């Protein structure tokens, strides 16, 4: 029986000196609290070891940043080589130009790129560019979509003033008619629309875009002269190297990336079309670490490895293997589940009324057996997951499904 004593002790220490212990999306209180780890000791490839020495095959990938394996040798070598030269300085390094050029090369809509640290930095920037370009105020986003911790989009409103989100209009993801109505009512004021490539709110089944959904947004933006922004922070470089909407054949005006771009090193980027470049240059955008060179070297190496190895294809194959295996097992153990989202960012929920309780028990049993899933948040496949890893994982999930069946029917 695995225990989490050291994790729990450290979490108590954290509660003493940090509000909430571990605040935000990584809070262990959002896992199966007490039956899951709170702190990590080391990580390698698709695995991590918690501070109690428990090993896991990881399906959260740091909530997205890890895309070709923790401590990936080539990425780390590039990071270290650059950091021994210059990292955070008075001015950028040559890597800064190279990375912008690389993104322009591989992303069809990109004529330019700018860089930040957080996803929030670039989603908030994209709104400003849309407003600067159009001279309009309103932004349309899907209700419950997570676009970061900017006041305009933060999921919880503690400490936020109504004025800070006064110009944000919301509709339900995939409700094409609702979207059209919102546009009709605010036509002359809509600066832009921001959506994620698919619906991936926590505590909710993922939803792929409904037929015509992206196309309607594209056409509507063209019709009214608004800017189509894709928040690809979570899904970017896990669905398509050119931006996730390439998979659906629809092209936005601005795309925000972060997470996977540096395989764990802190960087974010907003790329856009030439028509927006002047407006983009008029929006003040800066930060102490925005031009740091080493994460850019890491991003260049990550992109190179992903292209050389066709990492997206590998992730889809592994994701499909996991999906097929788990759906078979659910069937065998008579569990009704929803397995949703792209194969590379899957999510599984139980359909019964005690869905979250089942999900928690399922995850708890997986933690005990060395596999790390999340009960409430979509998962992530990486290119470091081997077929062997998926096989081992499926042995664990089979045992977990069996136990859920035994205990909850």
Structure tokens at 145: 């979509």
Site for a copy of itself in 69-98 (CB under 8 A): 70-71, 76, 80, 83-94, 96-97
**Nearer to a copy of itself (CB atom), residue 11 or residue 213:** 11
CB of 145 vs a copy of itself, minimal distance in Å: 15
Instruction: Kindly identify the residues of this chain, within the stretch 248-277, that bind a copy of itself according to CB under 8 A.
Output: 258-259, 264-266, 277
Interface pick for a copy of itself out of 53, 77, 282, 352 (rule CB under 8 A): 282
Q: Is 210 in the site for a copy of itself (CB under 8 A)?
A: no
Q: Are 119 and 148 in contact (CB under 8 A)?
A: yes
Using CA atoms, how far apart are residues 134 and 52, in angstroms rounded to an integer? 54
Indicate the residue among 164 and 172 with the shorter CB distance to a copy of itself: 164
What is the size of the binding site for a copy of itself (CB under 8 A)? 112
**Residue 382 within binding range of a copy of itself, rule CB under 8 A:** no
What's the N-to-C CA distance of the chain in angstroms?
23
Tell which positions 110-129 bind a copy of itself, by CB under 8 A. Answer: 111-114, 116-121, 124, 127-129
Q: Taking the complex as a whole, how short is the minimal distance between the CB of residue 207 and a copy of itself, in angstroms? A: 23
CA-closest candidate to residue 197, choices 185, 206, 184, 205? 206
How far, in Å, CA of 295 to CA of 267, rounded?
Answer: 6
- Reference 404, options 51, 118, 32; nearest CA is 32
CB 136 within 8 A of CB 165: no
Using the contact rule CB under 8 A, the part of the chain among 16-24, 174-182, 215-223, 382-390 near a copy of itself is 16-24
143 contributes a contact to a copy of itself by CB under 8 A: no
Task: Give the nearer residue to a copy of itself in terms of CB position, either 94 or 307.
Answer: 94
Residue 254 CB, nearest approach to a copy of itself (Å) = 11
Minimum distance of a copy of itself from residue 138's CB (angstroms): 9
CB of 62 vs a copy of itself, minimal distance in Å: 5
Kindly tell me which residue out of 55, 164, 172, 395 binds a copy of itself, with binding defined by CB under 8 A. 164
Using CB under 8 A, pick the residue from 211, 275, 281, 387 that binds a copy of itself: 281
Question: In 106-139, which positions are buried (b, 16+ CB within 10 angstroms) versus exposed (e)?
Answer: bbebbebbbbbbbbbbbbbbbbbbbbbbbebebb
Among 53, 77, 81, 101, binds a copy of itself (CB under 8 A): 101
CB atoms within 10 A of CB 85: 13
CB of 107 to a copy of itself, least distance (A): 11
Alpha carbon of residue 156 to chain centroid: 19
Using rule CB under 8 A, residue 20 touches a copy of itself: yes
Q: Which helix (H) or strand (E) holds 315?
A: helix 311-332
Give yes or no for residue 345 binding a copy of itself (CB under 8 A).
no
Site string for a copy of itself, 52-71 (x = CB under 8 A): ------x-xxxxxxx---xx
- Residue 104 within binding range of a copy of itself, rule CB under 8 A: yes
Going along 83-205, which residue ranges are E strands?
112-116, 138-142, 168-171, 190-195
42 binds a copy of itself (CB under 8 A): yes
Chain residues 221-240 in contact with a copy of itself, contact rule CB under 8 A: 233
Q: Determine whether 158 is exposed, middle or buried from the number of CB atoms within 10 Å of its CB (0-12, 13-18, 19+).
A: exposed
Choose, by CB under 8 A, the member of 288, 353, 388, 406 that binds a copy of itself: 288
**What is the spatial distance between Cα 176 and Cα 215, in angstroms, rounded to a whole number?**
10
Q: Residue 62: which of 295, 306, 379 has the closest Cα?
A: 379
Give CA–CA dist 27/33, Å, rounded.
9
């Amino acid at each position: 029986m695995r225990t989490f004593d050291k994790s729990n002790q450290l979490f108590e220490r954290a509660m003493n000196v940090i509000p909430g212990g571990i605040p935000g999306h990584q809070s262990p209180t959002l896992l199966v609290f007490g039956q899951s780890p709170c702190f990590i000791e080391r990580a390698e490839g698709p695995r991590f070891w918690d501070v109690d020495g428990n090993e896991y095959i990881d399906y959260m990938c740091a909530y997205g940043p890890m895309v070709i394996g923790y401590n990936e040798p080539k990425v780390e070598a590039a990071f270290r080589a650059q950091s021994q030269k210059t990292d955070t300085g008075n001015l950028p390094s040559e890597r800064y130009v190279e990375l912008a050029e690389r993104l322009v090369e591989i992303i069809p809509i990109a004529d330019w790129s700018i860089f930040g640290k957080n996803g929030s930095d670039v989603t908030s920037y994209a709104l400003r560019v849309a407003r600067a370009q159009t001279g309009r105020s309103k932004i349309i986003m899907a209700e419950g979509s997570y676009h970061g911790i900017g006041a305009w989009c933060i999921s919880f409103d503690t400490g936020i003033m109504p004025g800070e989100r006064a110009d944000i209009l919301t509709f339900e993801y995939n409700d094409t008619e609702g979207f059209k109505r919102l546009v009709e009512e605010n036509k002359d004021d809509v600066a832009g629309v921001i959506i994620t490539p698919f619906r991936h709110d926590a505590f909710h089944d993922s939803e792929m875009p409904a037929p015509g959904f992206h196309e309607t947004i594209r056409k509507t933006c063209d019709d009214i002269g608004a800017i189509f922004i894709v928040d690809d922070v979570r899904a970017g470089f896990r669905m398509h190297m050119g931006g996730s909407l390439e998979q659906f054949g629809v092209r936005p005006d601005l795309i925000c990336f972060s997470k996977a771009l540096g395989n764990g090193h802190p960087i974010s980027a907003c790329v856009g079309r030439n028509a927006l470049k002047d407006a983009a240059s008029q929006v003040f955008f800066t930060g102490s670490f925005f031009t740091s060179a080493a994460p850019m070297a890491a991003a260049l190496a990550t992109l190179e490895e992903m292209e050389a190895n066709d990492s997206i294809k590998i992730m889809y194959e592994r994701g499909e293997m996991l999906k097929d295996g788990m759906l078979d097992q659910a069937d065998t153990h008579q569990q009704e589940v929803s397995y949703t989202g792209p194969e590379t960012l899957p999510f599984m929920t139980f359909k019964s009324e005690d869905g979250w309780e089942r999900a928690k028990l399922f995850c708890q049993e997986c933690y005990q057996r060395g596999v790390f899933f999340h009960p409430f948040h979509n998962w992530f496949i990486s290119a470091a997951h081997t077929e062997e890893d998926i096989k081992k994982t499926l042995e664990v999930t089979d045992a977990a499904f069996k136990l859920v069946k035994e205990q909850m029917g």
